[in-house]
Amino acid sequence: MTKRILSGMQPTHGLHLGNYLGALRNWVDLQHNDYEALFCVVDLHAITLPYESDMLASRTREVAAAYIAAGIDPRKSTIFAQSAVPEHSQLMWLLATMAQMGKLDRMTQFKDKAGKNAERVGLGLYAYPVLMAADILIYKATHVPVGEDQKQHLELARDLAATFNTRYKREFFPQPEPQILGEATRVMSLQDGAKKMSKSDPSEKSRINLTDDAETIAAKIKRAQTDSEPLPMNVEGLKDRAGADNLVTIYAALKRCSRADVLSEFGGQQWSGFKPALAELAVAELSPITAKMADLMANPAKIDKILAQGAEKARSIAAPVLKETMDIMGFWH
Determine if 10 is a binding residue for ligand AQP (CB under 6 A): yes
Determine if 191 is a binding residue for ligand AQP (CB under 6 A): no
Q: According to CB under 6 A, which one of 6, 18, 136, 243 is a site residue for ligand AQP?
A: 18
| Residue 9, helix vs strand vs coil | strand
* Contact yes or no for 68/75 (Cβ under 8 A): no
Q: Say which amino acid occupies 58.
A: S
Please state the closest distance from residue 38 (CB atom) to ligand AQP, in A: 14
Q: According to CB under 6 A, which one of 43, 81, 85, 147 is a site residue for ligand AQP?
A: 147
Positive or negative, the CA dihedral 230, 233, 235, 236 is negative
Determine if 22 is a binding residue for ligand AQP (CB under 6 A): yes
Please state the closest distance from residue 314 (CB atom) to ligand AQP, in A: 18
Q: According to CB under 6 A, which one of 92, 197, 296, 314 is a site residue for ligand AQP?
A: 197
Burial of 231 (0-12, 13-18, 19+ CB in 10 A): buried
Beta 4-9 vs 36-41: how paired, if at all?
Answer: parallel
Determine if 40 is a binding residue for ligand AQP (CB under 6 A): no
Which residue has its beta carbon closest to ligand AQP? 22
- 113 catalytic, yes or no? yes
Please state the closest distance from residue 146 (CB atom) to ligand AQP, in A: 3
Q: Which is nearer to ligand AQP, 30 or 230 (CB)?
A: 30
Nearest one of 181, 179, 140 to 160, comparing CA atoms: 140
Q: Which is nearer to ligand AQP, 59 or 230 (CB)?
A: 59
Q: d(Cα 246, Cα 264) in Å, to the nearest integer?
A: 16
Please state the closest distance from residue 285 (CB atom) to ligand AQP, in A: 15
Determine if 181 is a binding residue for ligand AQP (CB under 6 A): no
- 103 catalytic, yes or no? no
Q: According to CB under 6 A, which one of 33, 100, 166, 200 is a site residue for ligand AQP?
A: 200
Q: Which residues pair with 230 in a beta bridge?
A: none
Nearest one of 204, 199, 153 to 12, comparing CA atoms: 199
Determine if 149 is a binding residue for ligand AQP (CB under 6 A): yes
Q: d(Cα 249, Cα 238) in Å, to the nearest integer?
A: 10
Determine if 153 is a binding residue for ligand AQP (CB under 6 A): no
Query: With CB under 6 A as the contact rule, which of the stretches 170-178, 185-193, 211-219, 228-236 interacts with ligand AQP?
Result: 185-193
Element at 179 (helix H, strand E)? strand 177-179
* Cβ contacts of 299-305, under 8 Å, gap ≥ 24: 300/58, 300/61, 303/61, 303/64, 303/65, 303/68, 304/61
Residues of this chain that interact with ligand AQP (CB under 6 A) are 9-10, 12, 18-19, 22-23, 146-147, 149-150, 185-187, 196-200
Annotated catalytic sites, by residue? 113, 196, 199
